[in-house]
Amino acid sequence: MNNEELQQLVSRISLESFHKPFMHRAYFNPRLRTTGGRYLLQSHHIEINPKAFEIYGVREVEGIILHELCHYHLHLEGKGYQHRDKDFRALLKKVNAPRFCSTLQIPKSRSKKQRPHYTYECIQCHQRYVRKIRFNVNRYCCGKCSGQLKIVE
């Protein structure tokens, strides 16, 4: 699916579900990481994460479009368009739009399990400290007994 097909899909869904035209642009934004899509308040455009289409297909993208169109139409009408607003939640229910999209996989380089942890131990009292960032043991001491620290491999 390319941007032109996405634009046509958004226009069709807007007319079928909301009975109102979509007068702005809809396009894929590959820079979106964890969100399925977003509605831009200043320009009124809708951005869709291409990963949502690659991983889950057209059905997921249609749900994301419905969700973003709820923001779009409510904002243009001057009603409550934010997630916490009553108008927004009522419109989501009316058009059967999902409140959240399916989770998009976070790249392994950013996952917390892959991040190295450093363990330091006090030489005197054997208190252990686990840290995400490595530090110079000559500049710091144990917070319990002020003893010297060493890194545990």
Strand intervals (E) in 77-146: 118-122, 128-131
Q: What is the pLDDT of residue 103?
A: 80
Beta bridge partners of 39: 46
> According to CATH, where is 3.30.2010.10 located in the chain?
3-95
Strand intervals (E) in the chain: 26-28, 37-39, 46-48, 118-122, 128-131, 149-152
Instruction: List the chain pLDDT tens, one digit each, 153 residues.
Output: 899 999 999 999 999 999 999 999 999 999 998 899 999 999 999 999 999 999 889 999 999 999 999 999 999 999 999 999 999 999 999 999 988 887 876 555 555 566 778 999 999 999 999 999 999 999 999 999 999 999 997
Paired tokens of 100: 């959240």
Q: Is 67 annotated as ligand-binding?
A: yes
Full-model pTM: 0.69
Annotated catalytic residue within 68, 77, 121, 153? 68
Other C-beta atoms within 10 Å of 71: how many?
22
CATH 3.30.2010.10 for domain 3-95, yes or no, is: yes
Paired tokens of 93: 């229910």
Rounded to an integer, what distance in angstroms lies between the CA atom of residue 93 and that of residue 50?
25
Cα 41–13–53 angle (5° rounding)? 80
Active site residue 68: yes
Q: Is 71 annotated as ligand-binding?
A: yes
